[in-house]
Amino acid sequence: MTLPTPTSTPPVLETDILSSPGPFEGPEKLLEVWFAPSASALPETSAAGAARYRPAAVQREWKGLRRVPRAVWEEMLDIVKCKVLSVVEGAEVDAYLLSESSLFVAPHLLILKTCGTTLNLLGLHRIIEIARAYCGFTTVWRCFYSRKSFFFPERQSGPHRDWRDEVTFLDSVFGAAGSAYTVGPMNRDHWLLYLTSPNAQPLLPSDASLSSDFSLSLSLPSPPALDRPSTYQDSTIEILMSHLSPEGRAPFFAPSPAPGPEASGTLSGHELGAQISHRLGIDTLFSRGETTLDSFGFEPCGYSANAVVGSGSPETNIPGGGYFTIHVTPEDGWSYASFESNIPLPQTSTADRPDIATLIRKVVGIFQPSRLSITLFVSTPPEGGIGESEAERRAWSALGTDLLGREFARKDRIGYEFDGYDLVFACFEKRGWVEPKSRISAKDAVKGLQNGQGQVQER
- The CA distance from 417 to 421, in Å, is 6
CATH 1.10.600.10 fits 235-256+267-450, yes or no: no
Phi-psi region of 375 (alpha: psi -120 to 50; beta: other; left: phi over 0): beta
Q: What pLDDT is stored for residue 427 in this prediction?
A: 95
pLDDT tens digits for range 261-283: 544 458 899 999 999 999 999 99
Identify the active-site residue in 92, 102, 108, 115: 115
Length of the chain: 459
What is the rounded CA–CA span in Å between residue 200 and residue 173?
9
Tens-digit pLDDT profile for residues 7-62: 443 333 333 333 335 688 989 999 999 999 999 889 877 655 546 788 776 557 78
pLDDT of residue 219: 36
Whether 327 is catalytic is: yes
Query: Using CA atoms, how far apart are residues 173 and 457, in angstroms rounded to an integer?
Result: 34
Q: How far apart are CA 116 and CA 109, in angstroms?
A: 23
Q: Please, where in the chain does CATH 3.60.90.10 lie? A: 24-217, 235-256+267-450
Residue 14, CB half-sphere, CA atoms under 13 Å: how many?
Answer: 10
The pLDDT, as a whole number, for residue 10 is 38
Phi, psi of 224 (to 5 degrees): -80, 145
**For the chain, which ranges sit under pLDDT 70?**
1-22, 46-51, 57-59, 208-232, 257-265, 317, 382-389, 391, 438-459
Confirm if 214 and 203 have CB atoms less than 8 A apart: yes
CATH code of the domain occupying 24-217: 3.60.90.10
Instruction: Say what the pLDDT of residue 212 is.
Output: 45
DSSP 303: E
* CA dihedral (279, 283, 284, 288) positive or negative: negative
* Annotated catalytic residue 427: no
Query: Which one from 99, 102, 304, 373 is the annotated catalytic residue?
Result: 304
Residue 131 three-state SS: helix
CB-based contacts of 379, cutoff 8 Å, min separation 6: 228, 229, 233, 234, 235, 391, 420, 421
Which listed residue (38, 82, 100, 101) is catalytic? Answer: 101
pLDDT for 265 equals: 59
pLDDT at site 58: 57
Judge contact between 38 and 160, C-beta under 8 A: no
Looking at residue 51, what is its pLDDT? 62
Query: Cα separation of 412 and 422, whole Å?
Result: 17
Residue type, 135: C
Active-site option among 327, 335, 370, 458: 327
DSSP letter (8 states) at residue 282 = G
Q: How far is it, in rounded angstroms, from Cα 242 to Cα 251?
A: 16
- Sheet (strand 408-417) strand order: 291-297, 303-309, 322-329, 336-341, 235-244, 369-379, 421-430, 408-417
Backbone angles phi, psi at 99, to 5 degrees: -60, -25
Nearest Cα neighbor of 192 from 174, 201, 205, 179 is: 179
